[in-house]
Amino acid sequence: MIAAVFWLLLATSTVPTALQRQGIFSEAVEGLLPEILDPATRRPFSNNIIPENTMDPAAVSLLSRYPLPTSGGTANNYRRTGKETDNQNQYDMRVDHRFSAMNSLFVRYSSFNAFAGFGTQRPNRLRDPNLPNGQRTTSRYFYTDAFVAAPQFTIGTSSRNPIQGPGFQDIDVALIKRVKFRERYTAEVRAEVFNLTNTPPLGAPNTVLGSPGFGSITSAGDPRVVQLAAKMHF
């Protein structure tokens, strides 16, 4: 059995300071004052100040999307603590029983408490998106109205994995019979059943906000599979 617990205590980033947002680069970076050059002429700006009329409006708009520093300095000046749950409980158990040298049986049980994440897309979350167990269907697995698109160039309030997926449970059984002929030959007959209970192994729900199938499940794994095999060892 393997268990792991992780805590994100503090996340540190570097964001533009209030002066840098105005084009004023008079603050030292790690003890040094960088020289700011005009990209058109390759000449340094006077006093390390970029004139306002030379700033690209798109770049100025993008700067406003960054949060303000939470601490002093020009490097590692933004710190935050936040909760981001990542539920990945997974179990795999197997029991083997040998009736004799020629006959054996094993049963395997697998379970995966799957989650559904949004990848790099981070919308704004309005409330808990998880439906009660009795209301979940393949066409509507979670509250789709719990999310709205975040403004352009911003990261929304949703955590990385806000939705509990359908999970996975599986029982496999195999029965093996060996028959020995003389000293050199052994025949082996196997009967194997995968997904014995025929439980639908549903795929993860569609978590692409804005897509037609948002919130639905359109894929699944294999149903019950029975496999028979025979071998001859010599």
* Residue 114, pLDDT score: 44
- Contact present, 11 and 80 (Cβ < 8 Å): yes
pLDDT band at 1 (very low <50, low <70, confident <90, very high): very low
- Contact present, 214 and 121 (Cβ < 8 Å): no
Q: Is 193 exposed, middle or buried (0-12, 13-18, 19+ CB in 10 A)?
A: middle
- Segment 55-70, tens digit of pLDDT: 888 888 888 878 888 8
Instruction: Please choose, from the candidates 205, 197, 204, 203, the residue with its C-alpha nearest in 3D space to the C-alpha of residue 223.
Output: 197
pLDDT at residue 233 is higher than 70:
yes
State mean pLDDT over 64-87. 76
pLDDT at residue 13 is higher than 90:
no
- Segment 190-226, tens digit of pLDDT: 999 988 888 888 888 888 888 888 889 988 888 899 9
pLDDT at residue 183 is higher than 50:
yes
Map out the domains of the chain as residue ranges. Answer: 7-82, 90-233
pLDDT averaged over the chain? 81
- Segment 111-168, tens digit of pLDDT: 654 444 554 567 888 889 999 988 999 999 999 999 988 876 677 788 777 888 887 7
